[in-house]
Amino acid sequence: MAGIERFEDIEGWKKARELTRAIYSLTSTGEFSRDYGLKDQLRRASVSIMSNIAEGFERGGDKEFQQFLAIAKGSTGEVKAQLYIALDARYIDREAFQSLYEMANETGRIIAGFMRYLANSPRPTNKFK
């Protein structure tokens, strides 16, 4: 993985950070800020994306990293499902929903592409750092 020296260099992690920042901003105001359960769950799901990418990278092996990427990708689905709940509860409007949903979708696509890259890249060792 030439060019990736730290998890902060991973495009999926950067996108997950943007998504998390947007979710924290959204959940800090209005009725959403008072729904502690949904607010907390949505925030934790977005943080999980970033955290699993970072943790998997730091472990050092491609196979294990792929497992953490799969968990991170799963968390993008959790974020999308929770956005529907926020929309249905009228905590967010259709425009905010679409914007955040697309951010989560794009993050998932980037992670999936990285997973394919790792699965198809032969390496003499199981280390990538």
Structure tokens at 26: 């959204």
Picking from 77, 81, 52, the residue whose alpha carbon sits closest to that of residue 66 is 52
Residue 30 confidence (pLDDT): 92
Could you read off the pLDDT of 52-110 as tens digits, one per residue? 999 999 997 888 999 999 999 999 999 999 999 999 999 999 999 999 999 999 999 99
Supply the pTM of this predicted model. 0.89
Domain boundaries, the chain: 10-120
87 with 99: CB under 8 angstroms?
Answer: no
Could you read off the pLDDT of 78-94 as tens digits, one per residue? 999 999 999 999 999 99
- Yes or no: is domain 10-120 CATH 1.20.1440.60? yes
101 with 22: CB under 8 angstroms?
Answer: no
